[in-house]
Amino acid sequence: MQRKVRKPADGPVQGNGFPKAPLEKSIDEKVMGLLRDARIDEISVMGPRVVPSLINALDDEREVVRESAALALNRIRATNPRYDWGWAVPALTENLDNSCYAVRLSISELLGWICDVSAVPALLRALGDENETVRLNVAEALKDILEKHPKKDWRKVVLAIAGCLNDKSADVRAYAAGALGVISEKHPEYDWKGVSFSLILVLNDEDKEVRKKAADALGWFIAKSSPKDLASAIIEYVNGNGGDGLAATDSRTGLLFDMLDYLMRKCGEAMENAA
């Protein structure tokens, strides 16, 4: 059972204090009535003062109530960009395992917008969600948090996103590949050899967009920011099982060979420029 949440009585909401208990009870009742009928627009215009009621409603036994509450939270977020959601993050992360996938979808999107570091452990667990759109939202949220808080040590998160390169969804694999390239540019001090090796493997992915994103990540970012790590990963790949595969004569293998050759040249150029 999710714990009930209530914003501190002296907490500001768009410049106004939170209402006292009797008024809050009437708000709870009004919100619940609107949620039962999925009247999301009417709830959204009530603004941040109903956020605690909506978060509590995420624990309701009725799926329509939970789904409507999650959608209303995102609507309020979109129309109140200056609202401070930090206090609500613990309760929101609890709903990343809500039985209603629509709730998980909305909450993962909301957490990506909030970009609170404390949400990262729960988001990492949610990378294993059964719904591919939720997994995609979660990967996007993690990338957004990394970009907003660049001074944190995100090595574990990088490895988790790299694990998404094996996701059964091509959309998730493609997003992960693109995200890794962007992160590598911001954190060249990390060890990128293992991630580079994983990206090399998906250069031969069955999905064209995944192959493109992996090639871009390696060529535009990692080859420039971490050329030694990438060159080492290419050598390991060619000298290992990858070398046997490169002996094939099909067109896709030919493209892979050309890409690896191009990446090695890019690495050489980057290392020469840094010398």
pTM for the whole structure:
0.84
Per-residue b/e over 79-118, b at no fewer than 16 CB within 10 Å?
Answer: ebeebebeebbebbbbbbebebebbbbbbbbbbbebebee
How far, in Å, CA of 172 to CA of 166, rounded? Answer: 9
Q: pLDDT tens, position by position, for the chain (275 residues)?
A: 565 666 555 444 444 545 545 545 578 899 999 999 999 999 999 999 999 999 999 999 999 999 999 999 999 999 999 999 999 999 999 999 999 999 999 999 999 999 999 999 999 999 999 999 999 999 999 999 999 999 899 999 999 999 999 999 999 999 999 999 999 999 999 999 999 999 999 999 999 999 999 999 999 999 999 999 999 999 999 999 888 888 888 888 999 999 999 999 999 999 999 97
Secondary-structure class of domain 153-275 per CATH: mainly alpha
